[in-house]
Structure formats: structure tokens, C-alpha cells
């Protein structure tokens, strides 16, 4: 099941569908509001049964404690876990123009690379109770139910970079055919009716390779679906290509027309944050990062560390609670329990729950209690 009402989505998460007696979760609270929303989400998780939770520092907290954003010990602990829950990383305390200075974001990128997490899934479905909270008109967003499938380990974020003696800087964007094929497979398996592949093929050579590869993959998939003994439903998914600037406009003008958005790393980072505002607040969106079948998945809210409200008790925990729902579904094979959390969040919102980012006054604690009361 796709999160929040979508179609079946096979997950590459570790031991998906297996009965885990006591699942082992590594919690990485991180920085800013990360520890607060992580604690709230773990409180919801604990209501569902017994889980072994082991906490480690990451990001700025790890820089302060160990001098690096991700230690080998933390990465090893994550590799042997059944799933990883991340709060958020970053903050002005660790910002620097020094290229040699450690940055909190290096912990997140190192985690994705070290766990070989190549597929980021970000569902966007505005809760019926929050249609009035979006900056867009209700009639424009009503019925929106889309998934952003973002490639995580390639592109400009992981390409060569540096500065020259002449005072210029460079960042290299690179993709290979296998990298594009494997993320395309996740997108097509996620889709119910259409995959919209986003690129900048009118300018970038990597985007031209991306478009060619996705087109060929879709054709091979259609031909295989027509073979003897194949599932004809595999032939039902359409493919369209869209330039990234046009996609950014169409997300605002007709969001409910989208099903799955397939993007490379940087485009996906930007578009998924734009799509988050369809829900009324970036504090509402969960995400899952998945890789090989034997690797644990990483589950985290889309929002950042919000250091300006850290410690005030005002942080919205719903995106992190939603990430726990995705963890249960994709990481631990507990579909019904994940759906139960999502339903509890919807019912709490329908009953009037509103945190500050949604125009209300509910605290992190009261929001968590409202979900627990409906679980």
C-alpha cells in the first residue's frame, strides 16, 4: 500500500514482511527540534508494542561531541539495525564558509551513502481537515495524492567539487545508466497511473541521459508486461517527461493531476519542499529512504531542525510520527500498524488539532497525546 491511500508499493526495506520479534531501531535525534519530535514519535511507537531503541548523535550534536557529523560507530549501529529514525540536522551554530569545517548535513549525506539508500519516497496528500490551511485554494488541492520519488546517491550532491586557485568554484553533476534505471523501477512500482519524469534535458547532458534511460526502461517494462504469464497491470502506467521549471509551475496550478514525480537528487530536493506546502505546512510530511533488500531504511520528516523554536515545546511532531508509520510499513513489514498511525493522525486533525505552524496553539506534547488518544 502506498502511504496515505496509494497503490501497492513493494519496498526494498530490510526483511520486509518478516515477523520481527523485537525490532531494533536506531534513533538519531539530531539538532534543533529533532530530539523533541523524535521523542514524540517514539512515544507513539512504544504504544504499539516492544521495540529495542538505541540512540546515537548525528549532525551538529555529533560535531560537538565527536568532531564529526557521523562517526563510524553510529554508521555501524545503523547498518545492523532493522530501521533508522532520524529527527533533523543543522543550525546556524555550525554554519561556516570554511570548506574544511564539518557540517551537520555531512552526517545525513554520509548516512545515505553508507547505507546505500538510493530511493527517497515523499508522499504528499493534504489531510481533508487541513485543506483550508494550504496557501492554495481548497478546490485546487482537493484530491491531491502524489508521491515524489527522488534519487538520493547521485547527482551534484555527490559529484566532484572544489575551488580553483583563480577564485572560482565547481560542483559536478554525474549520473550513470544503472543509477537511473534502479530509481525508475521504484517510481514505476509506486505508480497507479502515471510517472512524470522531471529533468532539464533542454540544457543538461545528465538530463538527456536521464530522459533516454527512463524512456527505454518504460518501453522494456511495457514489452515485458505483454509477455506470456506477465501481469497486464504492469502495462497500465503511463510515462510523461516534464522540464523541472514547468514541473514547479504545474505542481502549484494542478497538483491533483500528478501521481508519481520521478526526479534526480537536487530537483527532488526542491520540488518535494514545494509540494510540502500543498499540505499547509512542511511540518506535515514524512519520508522514507530505501535501498537494497538487506539494508535498513531511513525514516525522517521532510522539515529541518527549526532552531528558532527548539526547546519551546511548539514543534509539530506529526511529520515524524508519520515517518514512524512509514517505518512500520516499509521497514518492518507492519502494514496495518502503519495505517493505524496515519488514521489516528487524520482523526486528531479532524477533531481540531492544530499546532502553531497550522495556525493553532497545540504543543508538541498535546499533539502527541491527541494522536495517542486516536490510536
Domains assigned to the chain:
1-118+287-375 (3.40.718.10), 135-279 (3.40.718.10)
In tens, the pLDDT along 179-233 reads 999 999 999 999 999 999 999 999 999 999 999 999 999 999 988 877 755 565 5
pLDDT recorded at residue 270: 94
Mean pLDDT of all residues in 268-291: 86
Residue 60 cell numbers, joined: 551538529
Q: Residue 19 above 70 pLDDT?
A: no
User: Maximum Cα–Cα distance for the chain, whole Å?
Assistant: 62
DSSP state for residue 328 in the 8-state scheme: I
**If we measure between CA atoms, which residue out of 253, 29, 30, 272 comes closest to residue 149?**
272
Mean pLDDT of all residues in 272-277: 85
In tens, the pLDDT along 303-346 reads 899 999 999 999 999 999 999 999 999 899 999 999 999 999 99
pLDDT recorded at residue 369: 98
- Determine which one of 31, 82, 145, 157 is catalytic: 157
More confident residue, 243 or 133: 243
Do 118 and 182 contact (CB within 8 A), yes or no? yes
What does pLDDT average to over the chain?
90
Instruction: Mark whether 200 is an active-site residue.
Output: yes
Mean pLDDT of all residues in 121-132: 86
Tally the residues of the chain.
375
As beta bridge partners, residue 241 has 197
In sequence order, which residues have a C-beta less than 8 Å from that of residue 98 and are 6 or more positions away? none
In tens, the pLDDT along 164-188 reads 999 999 999 999 999 999 999 999 9
pLDDT recorded at residue 245: 97
pLDDT recorded at residue 230: 57
- Determine which one of 145, 200, 259, 346 is catalytic: 200
Instruction: Mark whether 346 is an active-site residue.
Output: no
Instruction: Mark whether 269 is an active-site residue.
Output: yes
CA distances from 287 to 272, 282, 299, 320, 363 (A): 10, 12, 6, 9, 22
pLDDT recorded at residue 365: 98
In sequence order, which residues have a C-beta less than 8 Å from that of residue 76 and are 6 or more positions away? none
Mean pLDDT of all residues in 53-74: 97
**Residue 265 region, left (φ>0) first, then alpha (ψ -120 to 50), else beta?**
alpha
pLDDT recorded at residue 232: 59
pTM higher than 0.95: no
Considering the chain, what percentage of its residues have pLDDT values greater than 70? 93
Q: Residue 47 above 90 pLDDT?
A: yes
Instruction: Mark whether 231 is an active-site residue.
Output: no
Residue 123 cell numbers, joined: 508522499
- Determine which one of 171, 220, 245, 308 is catalytic: 245
Which H or E element spans position 162?
strand 161-163
pLDDT recorded at residue 2: 53
Mean pLDDT of all residues in 232-248: 88
Write down the H helix ranges in 15-170. Answer: 34-47, 60-66, 72-79, 104-114, 138-141
pLDDT recorded at residue 204: 97
Mean pLDDT of all residues in 102-127: 92
Amino acid at each position: 500500500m502506498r502511504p496515505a491511500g496509494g497503490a501497492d508499493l513493494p519496498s526494498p526495506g530490510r526483511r520486509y514482511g518478516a515477523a520481527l520479534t523485537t525490532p531494533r531501531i536506531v534513533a538519531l535525534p539530531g539538532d534543533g527540534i529533532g530530539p523533541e519530535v523524535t521523542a514524540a514519535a517514539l512515544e507513539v511507537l512504544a504504544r504499539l508494542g516492544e521495540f529495542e531503541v538505541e540512540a546515537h548523535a548525528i549532525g551538529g550534536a555529533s560535531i560537538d561531541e565527536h568532531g564529526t557529523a557521523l562517526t563510524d560507530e553510529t554508521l555501524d549501529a545503523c547498518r545492523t539495525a532493522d530501521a533508522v529514525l532520524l529527527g533533523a540536522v543543522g543550525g546556524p551554530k555550525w554554519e561556516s564558509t570554511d570548506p574544511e569545517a564539518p557540517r551537520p548535513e555531512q552526517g545525513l549525506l554520509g548516512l545515505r551513502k553508507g547505507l546505500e539508500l538510493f530511493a527517497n519516497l515523499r508522499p504528499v496528500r493534504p489531510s481533508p481537515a487541513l485543506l483550508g490551511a494550504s496557501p492554495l485554494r481548497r478546490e485546487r488541492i482537493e484530491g491531491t495524492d502524489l508521491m515524489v520519488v527522488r534519487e538520493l546517491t547521485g547527482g551534484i550532491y555527490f559529484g566532484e567539487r572544489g575551488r580553483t586557485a583563480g577564485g572560482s568554484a565547481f560542483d559536478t553533476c554525474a549520473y550513470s545508466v544503472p543509477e537511473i534505471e534502479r530509481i525508475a523501477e521504484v517510481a514505476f512500482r509506486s505508480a497507479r497511473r502515471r510517472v512524470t519524469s522531471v529533468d532539464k534535458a533542454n540544457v543538461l547532458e545528465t538530463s538527456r541521459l536521464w530522459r533516454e534511460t527512463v524512456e527505454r526502461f518504460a518501453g522494456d517494462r511495457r514489452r515485458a508486461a505483454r509477455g506470456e504469464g506477465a501481469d497486464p497491470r504492469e502495462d497500465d502506467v503511463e510515462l510523461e517527461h516534464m522540464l523541472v521549471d514547468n514541473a514547479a509551475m504545474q505542481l502549484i496550478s494542478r497538483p491533483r493531476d500528478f501521481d508519481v514525480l520521478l526526479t534526480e537528487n537536487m530537483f527532488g530536493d526542491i520540488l518535494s519542499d514545494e509540494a510540502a506546502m500543498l499540505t499547509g505546512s512542511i511540518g506535515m510530511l514524512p519520508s522514507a529512504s530505501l535501498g537494497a533488500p538487506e539494508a535498513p531504511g531511513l525514516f525522517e520528516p521532510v522539515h529541518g531542525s527549526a532552531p528558532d523554536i527548539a526547546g519551546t515545546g511548539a514543534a509539530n511532531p506529526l511529520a515524524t510520527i508519520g515517518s514512524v508509520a512509514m517505518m512500520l510499513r516499509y521497514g518492518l513489514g507492519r502494514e496495518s500498524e502503519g495505517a493505524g498511525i496515519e488514521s489516528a493522525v487524520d482523526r486528531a486533525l479532524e477533531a481540531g488539532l492544530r499546532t502553531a505552524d497550522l495556525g493553532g496553539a497545540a504543543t508538541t506534547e498535546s499533539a502527541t497525546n491527541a494522536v495517542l488518544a486516536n490510536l
